[in-house]
Structure 1
Amino acid sequence: MADTAMQIGELSRRTGCNIETIRYYERIGLMPAPPRRGRYRSYGAADVGRLGFVRRARELGFTLDEVRALLGLAAGGEASCAEVRVLAAAHLGDVRARIADLRRMERVLADSVRACDAGQDPGCPLIDALYAEPRLPQTAR
């Protein structure tokens, strides 16, 4: 590891992850505490790989707990593929729900902007929409 040892700044540059985020991941156990050379943390290639994994999982919207579970499953080999699929399927459901929410928000905002452009309402359509009672989603029958 001596030839691949790097300090936290280099790890940050290689992974695109903020230094404070790296320290945070160490505090919460997503990244192992690195050995130190004097007062400096010393990282290696395995740390670059693990941090890259964490960063990509976060970019896909996985929560920190989900990332922790994925890291644990990644260490399990092929037997864990079914468990990863379950976690990914649940996450996909969450992503689809957020997309549906964003589409609803887009419709409300687009309607409000059109109403503002029309200028027919005495008040502000967006303010009125925000004060309106929320419409509850219809349940499937």
Structure 2
Amino acid sequence: MTPVIRPTNDKAFAETLIRHNMAAYHQQLGWHWDTALFDQQWRELESYKLFVNATPVGVLCLQQEHSAYHIRELQIAPSWQRQGLGTAALGYAEQHARQAGIHRLRLRVFSINPAMALYERMGFRVLTTEGGVQAMERRIV
């Protein structure tokens, strides 16, 4: 399935989806949501909303830093997961980075998150592991 991916300023949609999707991981790891930090970071991100048939189904947030594009958020609504939308969003991020002349994608993911399998399948490799979080990178050729 190929979503339509459009720039967004819909912080409320993004925050609600992220909080919902990450709640179990935060609880398991003893982390707490920081709304002020989210508000600050939101202003620094290039954010995109994913749509299927005009229905918002996900969010992708990117940030360019030096020689890499960082995927700060990739969240798909639970009822739309495992349908290729995450793969499509990663492809979009790669294309976006390539157009900017950037040859690396980076992300951080909870070690207990099943999305690790998607990232590894898409060519991301673990750089570091700390506090239950893995930093991963994929070179764009």
TM-score (norm 1): 0.24
Which of the pair has the greater relative contact order for Cα pairs under 8 Å at 6+ separation?
A: 2
TM-score (norm 2): 0.24
Instruction: Decide which structure has greater helix share.
Output: 1
Larger radius of gyration between Structure 1 and Structure 2: 1
